[in-house]
Amino acid sequence: MRALITALSLLLTLIGCSNSTPSTRYYLLTDPFSTQPAAAGCAATVKSVTLSPYLQRNNIMLQTTANELVPAVQHRWSEPLQAGALRLLQQCLAGSDATRGVEIDVHIDHLHGSEAGNVVLQGHWQTRAGAGETRKGRFDLRGAQSAGGYDALVAAHADLLRNACLDIRAALPDCS
Please state, as a whole number, how many other Cβ atoms lie within 10 Å of the Cβ of residue 28.
12
Binding of other proteins by 107 (CB under 8 A): no
Contact 125, 172 (CB under 8 A): no
Q: Strands 69-77 and 59-63: what pairing?
A: antiparallel
Interatomic CA distance for residues 71 and 58, integer angstroms: 9
- Structural element, H or E, at residue 166: helix 150-171
**Shorter beta-carbon distance to other proteins: residue 83 or 170:** 83
73 binds other proteins, rule: CB under 8 A: yes
* Segment interacting with other proteins (CB under 8 A) among 1-9, 27-35, 71-79, 167-175: 71-79
Count, residues near other proteins per rule CB under 8 A: 39
| The one segment of 29-37, 79-87, 88-96, 133-141 that binds other proteins by CB under 8 A | 79-87
Residue 11: CB atoms within 10 A of its CB come to 10
Report the residue number, 76 or 135, with the smaller CB distance to other proteins.
Answer: 76
Which residues would be at the binding site for other proteins (CB under 8 A)?
Answer: 14, 17-19, 21-22, 56-59, 62, 64, 70-75, 80, 82-83, 113-119, 143-150, 152-153, 156
